[in-house]
Structure 1
Amino acid sequence: MVLGERIKRIRTFRGLTQRELGLKLGYEERNADVRIAQYESGYRVPKNNTLMEMAKILNVNYIHFIGVTPGCAEDIMLTFLWLDEDDRSTIHLFQLVRNPGKCNASDDKSVRYYDNDDWPAHAPVGIWLEYGLVNDFMREWCLRKEQLKSGEISEDEYFEWKINWPATSSSVDEKGNDKKNNSYKWRASS
């Protein structure tokens, strides 16, 4: 999702019109909505200080608007989160579990899956990252997607978790359970 689409998605999630956001940013009444429409369409790109102010107004982590260093852990995770926002059926997460009787038994790196209607016609390709921060994030994201699927959290809570990450991140143990919540309260029941 490009910057303008992110701004629009978060603005509408927060229930603001283009005019309301423009006025909160200090634009004149006569062109407040036009300026936001230009940002959302990609016709104009807001300056970083405008993006920082917009993030405050929209109550979202500024890293969703202001690019992070390409290839850093945050960039990888934000790419995944916005790809998921574009199409929830794109990314499927599942927790791998250790099989103690077979550890290091062979060089076979394949993960087996049952051929049924729940899986694609062609075998999916997995990725294993040896990057602690990304692994922790993926474990937590897997938990959040499972909570969404089971109805334990709502679509709005899931989106709130995503747009305020990493302030919403928790420590998740190997079994996928929350151990510690960070400062930002993203769940309605919290």
Structure 2
Amino acid sequence: MAIGKRIKFFRNKKGMTQKQFGEMLGFLGKTSDVRMAQYEAEARIPKFDLLKEMAGILSVSTHALNVPDIDSYIGLMHTFFALEDMYGLKIKDIDGELCLCLDRNNPSYLSMFDMFHAWQQQSAKLENGEISREEYDEWRYQYPALDTSGHYAKVPSQELSDLLIKELDKDSKKK
């Protein structure tokens, strides 16, 4: 997830408008919401000092806002956290083994399940000697072009996802 989407995600989680957040950061008047809109749309990228201030207000680490660097363990962890937020990826202890799994209640569950299932099938073929490491790598690195399961799905836009979540929240509050 890109930095602008992360800023918006955590701002919304705190229940703040762009204007409120911008004012807390010291942007005055009409410029407060405009500046925040620019950061969220990634027309502007906040410098590290501003990013630190944003993180402080949002009560998150700067790693949670930044595009994670998967070449570090902390960056990798924040990548997993972003995947949990976006796609319902969960970590569970199953018989003493830590496992990543999908949350059945997440709107993207069916699409993600189909894609993960196709990946698991290819991985099993590799383990069983049905395909070579080169064939497995070719499948992964050219995904979805070489996926014959036909189960890959296009991920919905963030705007559509936000709208669906908003409507689900409204619906659950009515109940």
TM-score, structure 1 normalization: 0.48
Which residue in the other structure is 1:26 paired with?
Answer: 26
Which residue in the other structure is 2:93 paired with?
Answer: 95
Deviation per residue, 1:32-90 (Å, 9 max, x gap): 100000000111001100010111111112221246654111111111111221111xx
Number of residue pairs matched by the alignment: 105
Secondary structure of the structure 2 residue equivalent to 1:95 = strand
Secondary structure of the structure 1 residue equivalent to 2:93 = coil
Higher helix share: 2
Superposed, which structure 2 residues align to 1:80-159 within 5 Å?
80-88=80-88, 91=89, 93-97=91-95, 122=117, 125=120
Cα gap change, 1:58/1:93 in structure 2, threshold over 3 Å: closer, same or farther? closer
Q: Does 1:37 align with 2:49?
A: no
For 2:94 and 2:64, the matched residues in 1 are separated by 29
Deviation per residue, 1:73-119 (Å, 9 max, x gap): 1111111111221111xx35443436xxxxxxxxxxxxxxxxxxx97
2:27 maps to a residue whose letter is Y
For 2:94 and 2:35, the matched residues in 1 are separated by 47
Kept after mapping to 2: 8 A contact 1:52/1:62: yes
Secondary structure of the structure 1 residue equivalent to 2:43 = coil
Secondary structure of the structure 2 residue equivalent to 1:63 = helix
Structure 1 gaps of 5+ residues are 99-117, 127-190
For 2:92 and 2:119, the matched residues in 1 are separated by 12
Kept after mapping to 1: 8 A contact 2:14/2:58: yes
For 1:2 and 1:60, the matched residues in 2 are separated by 16
TM-score, structure 2 normalization: 0.52
Structure 2 gaps of 5+ residues are 97-109, 124-175
Considering Cα pairs closer than 8 Å and 6+ residues apart, tell me whether 1 or 2 has the greater RCO.
1
- State, as a whole percentage, how many aligned pairs show the same letter: 33
